[in-house]
């Protein structure tokens, strides 16, 4: 598809400006609360330009989720957790150290994959299915760490760990700024149960 551009100070393609604007709005307010008219107004483009680049709002949401996976999951969460220590156990606990700083930011927005999934009732919706796939990709990262740690059932462990992660995110959204550290304490017990050193 040919990318349509309109004049801008930065000279960036319209598709990128639209996606950047949608990324910020969808992250902070959810996809249901943000209409295309608001994106058009804040981006400063014509409606035709948006629809030439994203034929429907769902197409824009799918692009947003993919960018969120790139920025949030791979470039931030996986990268930061991996920096927390050399052992798989320390990297797993590092997820919650990473979350701790995130939960304390003024613009904490929660998990977009969870938010979008819960906004859509239709299980066959491509947007809902994409949200589920992106959550599965996080568990895949956790399964890799569990395998490296020698855990006998890495899939079951990854699901347990992901429950801790998602629960801490919801608790932080309720206002519990210590949610990550509480989850980390439970995580230590879980790792010890599986014979994984946490020191």
From the list 190, 191, 169, the residue with the least C-alpha distance to 180 is 169
CATH 1.10.357.10 is held by the domain 66-193: yes
| Fold agreement between 1-55 and 66-193 | no
pLDDT at site 197: 80
Three-state DSSP state, 125: coil
- Largest separation between any pair of C-alpha atoms in the chain: 59
- Hey, how many other C-beta atoms are within 10 angstroms of the C-beta on 109? 16
Q: Are 52 and 4 in contact (CB under 8 A)?
A: yes
Cα of 57 vs its chain's centroid, Å: 19
pLDDT at site 10: 52
On whether the pTM is more than 0.85, the answer is: yes
Question: Residue 93 is encoded by which pair of tokens?
Answer: 């606990």
From the list 22, 21, 4, the residue with the least C-alpha distance to 13 is 4
pLDDT at site 86: 81
Determine the Cα–Cα distance for residues 136 and 39; give it in Å rounded to an integer. 29
Q: How many CA atoms lie within 13 A of 93 on its CB side?
A: 22
pLDDT at site 1: 29
Determine the Cα–Cα distance for residues 191 and 112; give it in Å rounded to an integer. 27
pLDDT tens digits, the chain, 199 residues: what are they? 223 334 443 568 899 999 999 999 999 999 999 999 999 999 999 999 999 999 999 999 999 999 999 999 999 999 998 888 788 999 999 999 999 999 999 999 999 999 999 999 899 999 999 999 999 999 999 999 999 999 999 999 999 999 999 999 999 999 999 999 999 999 999 999 999 987 6
**What are the boundaries of each domain within the chain?**
1-55, 66-193
Question: Residue 124 is encoded by which pair of tokens?
Answer: 């066959």
Q: Which residues contact 176 (CB under 8 A, 6 or more apart)?
A: 182
Q: CATH fold of 1-55, please?
A: Arc Repressor Mutant, subunit A (1.10.10)
- Alpha-carbon distance values, 154 to 141, 142, 175, 188, 191 (Å): 11, 8, 31, 16, 12
Determine the Cα–Cα distance for residues 49 and 40; give it in Å rounded to an integer. 9
Q: Are 158 and 135 in contact (CB under 8 A)?
A: no
């Amino acid at each position: 598809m040919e990318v349509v551009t309109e004049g801008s100070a930065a000279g960036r393609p319209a598709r990128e400006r639209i996606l950047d604007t949608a990324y910020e709005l969808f992250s902070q307010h959810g996809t249901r609360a943000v209409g295309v008219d608001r994106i058009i107004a804040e981006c400063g483009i014509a409606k035709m330009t948006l629809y030439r680049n994203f034929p429907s709002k769902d197409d824009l949401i799918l692009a947003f989720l993919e960018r969120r996976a790139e920025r949030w999951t791979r470039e931030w969460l996986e990268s930061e957790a991996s920096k927390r220590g050399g052992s798989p156990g320390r990297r797993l606990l590092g997820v919650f150290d990473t979350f701790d700083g995130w939960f304390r930011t003024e613009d904490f927005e929660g998990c977009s994959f969870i938010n979008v999934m819960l906004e859509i009732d239709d299980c066959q919706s491509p947007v809902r299915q994409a949200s589920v796939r992106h959550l599965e990709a996080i568990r895949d990262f956790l399964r890799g760490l569990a395998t490296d740690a020698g855990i006998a059932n890495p899939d079951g462990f990854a699901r347990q760990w992901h429950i801790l992660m998602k629960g801490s995110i919801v608790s932080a959204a309720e206002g519990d700024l210590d949610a990550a550290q509480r989850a980390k304490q439970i995580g230590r017990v879980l790792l010890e149960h599986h014979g994984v050193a946490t020191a």
